[in-house]
Chain A
């Protein structure tokens, strides 16, 4: 039986982690993530969970402690944002190649300088190549749902990779929503307990993380790539089981009004909600627009995106991060690569928006849709890369 609780995005993550009966949480506070571990520490204090809560002195230590704990076979969670994620950077790669199925909430916040605590995706995009599965959510409900699914995906022996669940700082982390939660018992049977593949056993000693030079490093990395390449099968299965349990069907991407769309926006996270509302309004005026929202960013859902853009004339790719000096922002670079690889000629343009938490308004989005419609009609991309919302 499900209930509806009033939860913030951070609260929804903390609640999901509690229900997943996590063994170890090692974390360091950072705005706008702090409330996740703060609320979780209350569960620990109240004796509602059996979790070993490790207060560390930095995010570098947090992720290091998580790696150690995960290698013992424990179920491990942490959360961070922005500079904290950047400080974890080197350990992120260690966690993933050592195949530690850690789940981490990343409450997206921009990177300094200037110092700013508000939302954009430059933190996660800065660590994009760390070899973790990366999920972006649109609202608190999705944050809750994906954390539950993340443990299943991460810990699956077929995957054994860490997962970040990304939620937009403040926009989601601090907004209160009605979130439909499962009973503890339902979560327990859905998530189950972790069954470690690598075990630490004094009677059967192994060495983890030894030096590995020119002779085996490449092979170990290739194995990691393969784990990521094979993960869609498990992600799909877990999405399917979750849908049976809750009626909420997740996938690699969500498409909205794409069936007969002439132009579309693709974007990550909460902006998709605004884009959907604007698309609906424009549909009322006969403008055929739609929205594509990747839930799963790594592994990149190339196949699903290609299929969704099959019949449109133009795609606006929104990036809430910029890769200074690159031809496009990160999401658009991926899209361009996929289109080129499959020899699909689609007129795309990249919109960099919302850096440092700058709002993107429905009017901004409507203008982007109109531009995409114009590109679809004329076949001419006037501005391949533009900045929206900057003075």
Chain B
């Protein structure tokens, strides 16, 4: 969401409270990312080390390959560091 689309001080709940449970799902921490992990599916051997190491549970397991959930991936690069076959590249985000 861009700054303009977010609600202003007149309409947000009082005292910064969150009025519904489970709303952390809506908080797209992927916004924080400066570098984006790109998985080369050709190289990936599906060892799942990235899935184990990702501190944000942002690696999703598929049938044969893994993928990144960019809504929550914060771009720390741990997955790229751990990948034994060098299948993950960190690419600068451009917005």
Contact = CB atoms under 8 A, between A and B. Distances in A.
B17 interface: yes
B41 to A, nearest CB: 34
Interface string B51-87: 0000000000000000000000000000000000000
A198 B21 CA distance: 15
Contacts of A222: 9
Given A215-B6, A226-B9, A220 B19 contact: no
Interface in A96-153: 97-99
Nearest to B21: A205
Given A222-B9, A226-B9, A216 B16 contact: yes
Contacts of B21: 205-207
Most buried by B among A205, A212, A223: A223
B18 A219 contact: no
Determine the main DSSP class of A at the interface with B: loop
B15 interface: yes
A223 B16 CA distance: 9
A149 B38 CA distance: 62
Given A205-B21, A206-B19, A197 B9 contact: no
A195 to B, nearest CB: 14
Determine the main DSSP class of B at the interface with A: loop
A212 B9 CA distance: 13
A209 interface: yes
A47 interface: no
Interface string B15-43: 11111110100000000000000000000
Contact of B16 (A197, A205, A209): A209
A97 B14 contact: no
Given A208-B15, A216-B6, A216-B12, 10 more contacts: A99-B14, A198-B15, A206-B19, A207-B17, A210-B16, A210-B17, A210-B18, A212-B16, A220-B9, A223-B9
8 contacts: A198-B15, A198-B17, A207-B21, A210-B16, A210-B18, A219-B7, A220-B9, A223-B9
